[in-house]
Structure 1
Amino acid sequence: MMIEHRLFDSPAWIDLGGTAAKLLMHLARLYNGTNNGEIFLAERAAAEAIGVRRGAASAAFGELEAHGFIRATQRGTFQVKVKLATSWRLTFHATRTGPATHDYRDWSAV
């Protein structure tokens, strides 16, 4: 997993809470070099992976999206007999269809 120093130096990273930072590191660990935009992780699985409650994991996903580190490429659903986790894109890595967008660079505290 490679994360550039400029991400860690960004105001968005500095403002990020600990649970969100931990979740971002877990998502980055799931990135294999070719699956950006297809990183599937549900709230329940995320909570278990980073050792927090589901509500905290949900809040961390929201914080990461608000700060521009991740974007959902397909929202998950939970229906009878159908469970589909949300798929995520890390904005600091390219996808198969385009370059990294580094959305976190545009974040600012209001």
Structure 2
Amino acid sequence: MSRKNKDIAGFQILNILAEIDGDFDPKEGSVIIDYVGQNFPFGGNLEDALEELSITSHDDYPILLQKCAEDFYADSTEKERLELLDFAIKLIKADDKIDDEENLLVNKLYQYWDIN
């Protein structure tokens, strides 16, 4: 599997967080749209990223999240990682309930990126 650029990896991380609780809330979708607007100002082809998400089983989301986190880390600055974490936190709070799996995966991002 080839390395994704940071923007695609970030897009997939946010989608995994939105779907991990089994309920993709429209408010979570709005956070993803904001991320896309900020990181893909001229548009972008997200079809491959969406296809990979669609064929990944729910049980494998943590594995894909780790791969995306590694790819994002390899291609980003600390400031960009903190900005993505801000999006991630907004996303998991968007539906007014933070699921245990959402919380676990966001904490994993902090661990993967060695952020305290």
TM-score by length of 1: 0.34
Of Structure 1 and Structure 2, the greater strand share is in 1
Of the two structures, which has the highest relative contact order with CA contacts closer than 8 Å and spacing of 6 or more? 2
